[in-house]
Amino acid sequence: MEPSLSSLTSTDSQHTYNVEITRRNPACFLFLIDQSSSMAQPFGARSEAAPTLTKAAGVAQALNDLLRNLIITSSKSDGIRNYFEVGIIGYGKTVGFAWQGALAGSELVPIRDVAHHYIGVNDGVDGEPRHPVWVAPTAEGSTLMCDGIRLAHSVLESWVFRNRNSFPPVVVHITDGEATDGDPGPLLAALRELGTAHGRVVLFNVHLSSNRGAVATSFPDSAVDLPDPFARMLFEQSSLLTPFMRTVAWDQKLYLTEQARAFVLNADPSLMVLALEIGTRPGKLW
């Protein structure tokens, strides 16, 4: 029997389970990224740590770091094992998969292929080592969120049909504003209904802020204190955090209830990275 990479625990109204990630039954991470013109604005950081970082640059940096970490996690003595399939959908001037270079036109890419096809190497500024880059900052056009969600649904519908015994896909949706092409609520609800034999899609909604005075909210268990209908819609369409994800949050000194949702509001760079960490850490090696 092939050794498994990890064990993820999830719950919904019908499932409580423990699913192993193997090369035969890989996990799927799909990132749905707002690339509209407003993403060229700086974060509303509550510190001076990154005062000039645009939201587009921050998202690209976080995704590149995450991809590198998934590759490291998948690297064994016999090479890079295909424990994960990864997709990045961008919506802005156009809607489509955001891979560039040799991966352009690809949808969900095995992690081994991601490792072998980066588009460049970062500059290694501030004493940081140089690392491969897969995603470049993009900020142009309107917020075609609904079209982006429709594309995500189409791709994941096919994936779950092919991978019925895998852990259900994790979707991380990152945006800084409301849709300009309709009401995304029903589309997000339909996306969450997709699933494998072990449960439904786990959907994170991560809202980024341009307002330094905005109050950040991380993984709430109620919509009572949320400021507007759009925030409440994103909360309602976010999945419950799985028990394993709450354990990861506990490691970060976040003590959450069983009703905590995979939702953050008015995130700065550090909170966005934390959401990605909680959503995509695969767990202990077996």
- 4-27 pLDDT tens trace: 444 454 555 555 446 788 888 899
Name the token pair of 178: 């409301």
Per-domain boundaries in the chain: 6-43+51-280
Quick one: average pLDDT of 41-65? 79
Nearest to residue 263, comparing CAs of 242, 234, 230?
A: 234
Look at 209 and 164; give whichever has higher pLDDT. 164
Least confident residue range of 113-127, 142-156, 241-255:
113-127
The CATH code for residues 6-43+51-280 is 3.40.50.410
What percentage of the chain carries pLDDT values higher than 70? 87
Q: Exposed, middle or buried, 144 (CB in 10 Å: 0-12/13-18/19+)? A: buried
pTM, entire model: 0.91
pLDDT at 209: 82
